[in-house]
Chains A and B, each alone.
Chain A
Amino acid sequence: MIERSPFFDFVSYAAMVIGLVLVLIPFWVVIVAGSQSLQEVARVPFSMLPSNHLMENIQAAWARADLGPKLINSFIVAAGVTIGKITLAAFSAFAIVFFNFRARMICFWAIFITLMLPLEVRIVPTYSIAANALLPFQVLLDALGITWLVQSVSGVQIALNWNLLNSYTGLILPLIATATGTFLYRQFFMTIPDELVEASKMDGSGPMGFFWDVLIPLSRTNMLALATIMFVSSWNQYLWPLLVTTDRANFGTVVMQLKALIPAQNGTPDWNVTMAGALIIMLPPLLVVAFMQRWFVRGLISRDK
């Protein structure tokens, strides 16, 4: 429906401007506070104009929260999760859309159901798996009596253990499984005409050939859109890294370090340093979105023509 009336034009522009201002105000506050000195930031009322202490504040925040190594950690985790999610999503959607196997619908619904079980809901079992990734196999062996059998025959007790706590694997792996990505890929793969699949069969290409030579190049924009969402969301992860890393010094991520930047209860209320730190921490996802937004929108709304 296309409305052409000056009144509605005005209303819709007004709504968009209000929305934009609402989104931008917090950013502005962060930038302003991050550029002020301790005296300026403590002044009441708070001045909404930036000052010239940004660089000192950034240096202070960088040192206080040990942001250098933590940024590297965050990059490793965010990149690992993004790449892992895209790979897994592409392969699982490929299997669900192009292969006709008996358990196809079961697999599809199993993936679908995980949409309703976000990490926060299943955090305890996920943690216990991360503490010992081989636990399910151990339970299976115990239940089947194989542990008992082996122990009574050879005297060796089977105790499988693979600890993922305090490791990049532990930070990345549990975040990789995602239904969102599988769905995005599935929607795209379903728009690929059957004739294209058949043409590649006639050209002698097998399923993996079709996947690499046709599907992957065609889904480039989708992949970039998915990468954008996934990078931002895994960068912003707070709860999971907090749980799985006890060794904060080596495996902490920047988002966890935000806590270290907040002034202590009875310490100096240097919110200017906190805000400068927040600015550094939110910069990478912001840049990713800014660079990718063209692909992002295209990948979400339609396929590349």
Chain B
Amino acid sequence: MTAITLKGVKKRYNKSLVVHGVDVEIEAGEFIVILGPSGCGKSTLLRMIAGLEEITDGEILIGDRVVNQLEPRERGCAMVFQNYALYPHMTVGKNIGYSLKVARVPKPERDARVMAVAKAVGLEALLDRRPGELSGGQRQRVAMARAMVREPKVFLFDEPFSNLDAKLRVAMRSEVRKLHRQLGVTSVFVTHDQTEAMTLADRLIIMNAGRVEQVGRPIEVYNNPSSRFVADFIGSPAMNLLEGEFDADGLFVHGTGGRIRVESLNGQRVPGRKIVLGVRPEAVRRSDANTAGAIPAVVDYVEELGASRLIHADANGSRLIALDTDTAEIASGTPVHLSLGQEALHVFSAEDGRRINPHA
């Protein structure tokens, strides 16, 4: 069953279009993460689902009801805000119970429900405190409890962890995941943090400049980025991207003359065709000069990570990063040969950045 359907959803502020027609179906119980750089329209999209922004064009359905004209309170969504947005003059208990009070839930029932969610997020001892007396992590929990207490059909999270320190962020992440497993409520989570996105999501929606670049499970997106943008955005360190063209022999030439065979593009290696070749650092290996297709390069500098190291190398004027697990250390300035795994080559169009070779 679909929980949320977006049909050609657009958002225009004055004259500029910030969301260019988004079509996505979100299944009931799914945890969806909308990921993208700042200003890509991801928060706007979330706020349109919540009902806090008007929809310029298109339709949003929650369940099977078109919600375009509905007030936020009629949509059955609960939202967790980036800055928590707790009412500073109310105690934690009243903050959590406010929506129930507005809905005229009788006091005994209200208290019982507030207590139940407070227990679920470990706040039962703090119900009489004011938000100003709480730490960032506790405020975050209050914000989540406030969303949970209404038993909504959909949870919306607008970059909720961006004000927390790194350690707390990791802890909250697993807590959100756990809560989602227990409650099974459809959730839409907006973030610009790819680690957060990869670990939380059932499916990712990657956005760029108001358009959806790719929708898919995190591992699919990682293994088969459908555009140059996604390839560059997902993964740390980022994917190596080499710009170049095919020569008369059908070999990919980049920089000052490195030549690479691209097998997955049979029949399309037209001489002179410009492409962008992508390869993840973990698919770049140190090899010797005799290996077929090995690229000669010079080590620029090395980042030691302990179990592995990142070799930043200069190959004919292009930068290549290799994730090296070899036990032998390597010094900067050393000439090396790097070979690229054929199965891990991603080919993107030089014009529009779309993927050319078939998904692996």
Chain A contacts to B: CB under 8 angstroms: 193, 195-196, 198-205, 209, 213-214, 217-218, 305
Min Cβ gap A6→B in Å is 39
Min Cβ gap B185→A in Å is 15
Q: Does B289 have its Cβ within 8 Å of any Cβ on chain A?
A: no
Q: Does B79 have its Cβ within 8 Å of any Cβ on chain A?
A: yes
User: Do most interface residues of chain A lie in helix, strand or loop, or is the interface mixed?
Assistant: helix
A199 contact from B51, B77, B85, B132, Cβ within 8 A: B85
Q: CA A204 – CA B82 in complex, angstroms?
A: 19
26 residue pairs bridging A and B, Cβ less than 8 Å apart: A195-B81, A196-B85, A196-B87, A198-B50, A198-B85, A199-B79, A199-B81, A200-B87, A200-B98, A201-B51, A201-B52, A201-B73, A202-B52, A203-B73, A203-B102, A204-B72, A204-B102, A204-B103, A205-B73, A205-B98, A205-B99, A213-B87, A213-B98, A213-B102, A218-B88, A305-B88
A204 and B73 form a contact (CB under 8 A): yes
Q: Does B34 have its Cβ within 8 Å of any Cβ on chain A?
A: no
Taking A193-B83, A196-B85, A199-B87 as contacts, is the C-beta distance between A205 and B102 under 8 angstroms?
yes
Q: Does B190 have its Cβ within 8 Å of any Cβ on chain A?
A: no
Q: Does B117 have its Cβ within 8 Å of any Cβ on chain A?
A: no
Q: Which residues of A contact B132 (CB under 8 A)?
A: 305
Cβ < 8 Å to A, chain B residues 75-129: 77-79, 81-89, 98-99, 102-103
Q: CA A196 – CA B146 in complex, angstroms?
A: 13
Min Cβ gap B318→A in Å is 45
Taking A195-B83, A198-B81 as contacts, is the C-beta distance between A203 and B99 under 8 angstroms?
yes
B89 and A217 form a contact (CB under 8 A): yes
B98 and A201 form a contact (CB under 8 A): no
A202 contact from B78, B84, B88, B89, Cβ within 8 A: B78
Q: CA A202 – CA B103 in complex, angstroms?
A: 12
Q: CA A193 – CA B83 in complex, angstroms?
A: 10
List 12 other contacts, CB 8 Å, given A198-B81, A203-B146.
Answer: A193-B83, A199-B85, A200-B98, A202-B50, A202-B77, A203-B98, A204-B73, A204-B103, A204-B150, A205-B99, A218-B88, A218-B89
Q: Which residues of A contact B77 (CB under 8 A)?
A: 202
Look across to chain B and name the residue whose beta carbon is closest to the beta carbon of A217: B89
